[in-house]
């Protein structure tokens, strides 16, 4: 009996130590990466015992919030320029930045038959409202603007634009029919790398600058095990498989 009590006490002590070592990391995640981030966070929690608390939004807004003291420890941006700029401002840990995904832009409608396979619908202009993420805040919005300018349709479409604060809100505009179509991230409408519903044109990548999405350890995360392990986990085979399943490419 005494040995059983000693065993139970040792087991409880071990569990307490494990719980004490477990930590929570605050992760700011670009809205386009919502679905894979949530899946990766769940696997990270299960595999490491640490918890990844995910906050979703526009990269431009996260930049402003972090500059003003927001308690984020890791940033998964929708571009590579913002982490680089933050590094120059001393907001990140030097040498921690890497590209975790390369995004793809898609012209999408929630209704079948609206968007053709070559994007000719943009030139025809037979729609009343067109959704675009705010190019000043969201890299996918900037990419969409770049595509329209290259195709020579921006001036005609501009009066019809409905700007989303981030790519998630932009997707909602199209999904709910508040806009007939719009530019969103492939990851938002894809399953196993293919568009799952509605109609879409996966925009050729020569029409916009590469959307290299970089992750970086923020200054607040320096020396924190959960933050450092989350970035390491993002490079794991399990995380990479999840990222690819949503249509992203990797370097």
**Which residue ranges make up each domain of the chain?**
2-102+212-245, 105-202
Mark residue 235 as left, alpha or beta (left: phi above 0; alpha: psi -120 to 50; beta: remaining).
alpha
- pLDDT(213) > 70: yes
H or E element in which residue 25 lies: strand 24-30
Amino acid 10: pLDDT: 44
Edge-to-edge order in the sheet of strand 130-133: 161-164, 130-133, 181-185, 105-109, 199-202
What is the longest distance spanned by two Cα atoms in the chain? 83
Q: Where are the beta strands (DSSP E) in 50-179?
A: 51-57, 74-76, 98-103, 105-109, 130-133, 161-164
Question: Is the model's pLDDT at 135 over the cut of 90?
Answer: yes
On average, the pLDDT of the chain sits at 91
The second-level CATH assignment, the architecture, of 2-102+212-245 is 3-Layer(aba) Sandwich (3.40)
Distance CA 219, CA 130 (A): 39
Could you give the CA distance from residue 201 to residue 227 in angstroms, rounded to a whole number?
Answer: 37
pLDDT, one tens digit per residue, over 33-73 is 999 999 999 999 999 999 999 999 989 999 999 999 999 99
Whether 18 shows a pLDDT value over 70: the answer reads no
**How confident is the model over 132-145, as a mean pLDDT?**
94
Cα end-to-end distance, the chain, whole Å: 59
Of 186, 117, 183, nearest in space to 150 by CA: 183
Taking 50 as the threshold, does the pLDDT of residue 9 lie above it? no
Q: At what angle do helices 59-67 and 81-88 cross, to 10 degrees?
A: 10
CA distance 247 to 224: 31
Same fold, 2-102+212-245 and 105-202: yes
CB within 8 Å of 68: residues ≥ 6 apart? none
User: To the nearest whole percent, how much of the chain has pLDDT over 90?
Assistant: 85
Task: Note the pLDDT of residue 21.
Answer: 61
CATH number of 105-202: 3.40.190.10
pLDDT at residue 194 in the model: 76
């Amino acid at each position: 009996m005494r040995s059983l009590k000693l065993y139970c006490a040792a087991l409880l002590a071990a569990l307490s130590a494990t719980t004490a070592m477990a930590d929570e990391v605050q992760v700011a995640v670009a809205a386009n990466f919502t679905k894979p981030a949530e899946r990766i966070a769940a696997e990270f929690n299960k595999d490491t015992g640490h918890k990844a608390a995910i906050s979703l939004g526009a990269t431009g807004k996260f930049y402003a919030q972090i500059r003003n003291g927001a308690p984020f420890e890791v940033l998964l941006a929708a571009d590579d320029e913002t982490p680089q700029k933050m590094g120059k401002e001393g907001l990140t840990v030097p040498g921690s930045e890497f590209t975790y995904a390369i995004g793809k832009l898609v012209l999408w409608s929630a209704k079948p038959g609206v968007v053709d396979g070559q994007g000719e619908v943009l030139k025809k202009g037979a729609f009343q409202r067109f959704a675009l993420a705010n190019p000043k805040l969201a890299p996918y919005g900037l990419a969409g603007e770049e595509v329209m300018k290259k195709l020579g349709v921006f001036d005609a479409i501009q009066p019809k634009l409905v700007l989303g604060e981030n790519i998630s809100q932009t997707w909602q505009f199209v999904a709910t029919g508040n806009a007939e179509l719009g530019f969103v991230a492939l990851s938002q409408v894809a399953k196993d790398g293919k568009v799952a519903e509605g109609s879409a044109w996966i925009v050729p990548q020569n029409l916009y600058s590469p959307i290299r999405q970089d992750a970086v350890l923020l200054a607040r995360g320096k020396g924190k095990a959960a933050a450092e392990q989350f970035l390491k986990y993002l490079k794991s085979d399990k995380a990479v498989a999840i990222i690819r399943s949503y249509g992203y490419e990797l370097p």
